[in-house]
Structure 1
């Protein structure tokens, strides 16, 4: 009897301190995980920079080195902007080499390129730089300034709505098993513990970016509606034309193809596929671009 009372008294007197200790341990563990998630990307960026300097400080003259993620399972490039850039290089007949070892450059973005020892990031800035490079003599289309402005506005609309809507769907609503299989090549070289850790970091980062951009704040229904309306608008703009501006391809076709290809070929189960059923001209356009500039599409896919 006395022993039982003594135990109860001990528990009453010490339970508060035990709870505080448990809370402290939990708080410390949470902070450690949070800091680790923040520091890991910086570590890999730093590691990539060291590797870049060592390997690409001297590159073949007048040959673009395209740096991005390893080849994808459903599309040659996991990123729509990498697919945009590689398609542009093919359209412009610019000699290039593919590098899937160092996907992120000095701006921590993918894709990026090395040209004659100079590193350039951001797909659109890269295209604008290469357009001015006299050695390549890029000639895509013969459109006036008004027509090109029309193409630019169309591209920005698709970038804003289709890309960010796709990001939210992929990382918040898509079946995670399907999504992990799509991104498997990105983490292939790591062990299963690191793969899981890095994967959680990628999901968290992409959701955070979508929230900061604004699309991630909308409801599922609002996002799907916006993507569908933009798809219908793009279909109207394309009409019966072979390319977005007419009978000749322009650099904006590379960007639009990059996003449409991801939506059609690399988004299994996506709700916006219903919109494409009502826009057969967009499906035909995407398939046409693929046949014209990616005859080796299947050869550039990673094995599942």
Structure 2
């Protein structure tokens, strides 16, 4: 709470979202190391909700539900209930399953390599220790989740099969559910960008490149349309 108070903006304005996310400087190749923070920021951009970043490590997984009601934004505008149900199913798959295959690869099995693209907000002499602690924490969380009880090969197969399912349903559509962008697009962008844009040899990335090129086109479209200042980490 003390950290939140120190970073709170005394000149806050009504109807502006002050977005608490991991500092931009922690990540390379993507604006944020968290796919959930990426999802939220994409949703704000997609819905033209004014926001400012307040850089601290404070997360809330239910914020979009609250903001949708406050700003009167439909997470699935003009999309029928059946398609909304499909969108929610893929959203949950990506957040509860697919993302763990990415986390397992970069934090548990390849943390040393991933450290080239990750900088912690601690002195240099503590970077390795903090990285080791994060690796151990993610491994423990994956075990408690259940996915960490599988072999690495099985974990990557689960993630790769998810990628194939995403690609099959996406087909040639502009957005995941058709001609209108929705919350599921924000989620898929947040998760898949972590593998596509970070130059590590994720097994799931190989599947995207070799079997599911429509996903590359899809993510590039979303990036171009909603994240024009991608390379400017201050935006």
Task: Give the TM-score taking structure 1 as reference length.
Answer: 0.71
Contact 1:290 1:297 in 2 (8 A): yes
Contact 1:73/1:301 (8 A) holds in 2: no
Q: Relative to 1, partners in 2 of residues 1:60 and 1:175: Cα closer, same or farther, differing over 3 Å?
A: same
Which residue is 1:182 aligned to? 117
Distance 2:195 2:234 in 1: 17
**1:161-172 pair list within 5 angstroms:** 161-172=97-108
Q: Is the 8 A contact 1:84 1:254 kept in 2?
A: yes
Question: 1:224-239 counterparts in 2 under 5 A?
Answer: 224-239=156-171
Secondary structure at 2:174 match in 1: coil
C-alpha distance in 1, partners of 2:150/2:199? Answer: 20
Normalising to structure 2: TM-score of the pair?
0.91
Q: Is the 8 A contact 1:74 1:301 kept in 2?
A: no
Q: How many residues align?
A: 230
Is the radius of gyration larger for structure 1 or structure 2?
1
- Aligned counterparts of 1:271 and 1:248: Cα–Cα separation in 2: 30
Could you tell me which residue of structure 2 aligns to residue 56 of structure 1? Answer: 8
> What SS does structure 2 have at the residue aligned with 1:132?
helix
1:130 corresponds, among 55, 64, 67, to: 67
Return the offset for 1:54. 4.1
Tell me the distance in 2 between the aligned counterparts of 1:77 and 1:224: 23
Map 1:55-94 to 2 at 5 A.
55-56=7-8, 58=10, 59-71=12-24, 72-94=27-49
Q: Is the CA contact (8 Å cut-off) linking 2:101 and 2:156 kept in structure 1?
A: yes
Give runs of ≥4 in structure 1 deviating > 3 Å. Answer: none
Kept in 1, the 8 Å contact 2:42–2:186? The answer is yes
d(CA) in 2 for partners of 1:151, 1:181:
34
Secondary structure of 1:272's match? helix
Cα deviation 1:4-33 (Å, max 9, x = unaligned): xxxxxxxxxxxxxxxxxxxxxxxxxxxxxx
What residue number does 1:44 align with?
A: none
Aligned counterpart in structure 1 of residue 204 of structure 2, from 272, 284, 292 = 272
Structure 2 distance, partners of 1:282, 1:198, is 33
RMSD: 1.8
| More displaced 10-residue stretch of structure 1: 197-206 or 66-75 | 197-206
Tell me: higher relative CO, structure 1 or 2? Use CA pairs within 8 A at least 6 residues apart.
2
Q: What residue is the counterpart of 1:283 in the other structure?
A: 216
How far 1:87 moved relative to its partner?
Answer: 0.5
Q: Secondary structure at the match of 2:223?
A: helix
> What is aligned with 1:147?
83
> Aligned partners of 2:67, 2:187: CA distance in 1, in Å?
15
Return 5+ residue gaps in structure 2 as ranges: none
Determine whether 1:194 maps to 2:126: yes
CA deviation vs aligned residue, 1:154-205 (integer Å, no higher than 9, x gap): 11111122111111111222261x3112221x32xx2223333322221111
